[in-house]
Amino acid sequence: MRRSCTYVLGASSAIALLALAPTAAHAQGAEVFPGSGSPGTKVTVNDGNLCAGTAASATSEAFGTITLSKGTQTMVGSGTVKEVPNGSYGVKLTCGNGKSASGSFSVTGSTSTKPTTPTTKPTGGVKAGSGGTAETETAGLSAGGALLLGGGAFAVYALRRRSSSSPTA
């Protein structure tokens, strides 16, 4: 009888702990209500008792920065979702006591899209350097031309000399 009583007490204690575990784990951190919404939706952020009554703020690209103030049990603040593209946005909670936490908020039903075209129109040509001969001096070009002409003249001389020294039959 004693052994079965011990098992019953152990099992009921385990069930009670499992039932309370999600509440305890979720009690501290950035909580955003509702968890998703479209631009213009009012959101409420609370600290889940993390900040212990000190100053706190929550920041997200979805709604900017919200200053939290002491509520009945937690630090609470509210803001409005901005016109941002659909997607999931991080929420960073920063407490005055040095603690911080994070959460998330999903924007749905937005008509805003991320820009795919440049906001400014490009002007001018491609900046690809000056090229090989753009910075060469006139003297260098003249010397190169003289060498080419001299090489051509030597080739003509050598070919004429060879043809005049060959025997005729």
pLDDT at 32 over 70: yes
Which of 78-82, 138-142, 144-148, 164-168 has the highest mean predicted lDDT (pLDDT)?
78-82
Report helix, strand or coil for 79: strand
At 52-72, the pLDDT tens digits run 777 899 999 999 999 999 888
Phi-psi region of 87 (alpha: psi -120 to 50; beta: other; left: phi over 0): left
Domains and CATH numbers, the chain: 27-107 (2.60.40.10)
At 103-112, the pLDDT tens digits run 899 999 877 6
Can you list the alpha helix ranges (DSSP code H) found in the chain? 2-26, 138-165
pTM of the model: 0.51
Helices and strands: H and E segment counts in the chain: 2, 8
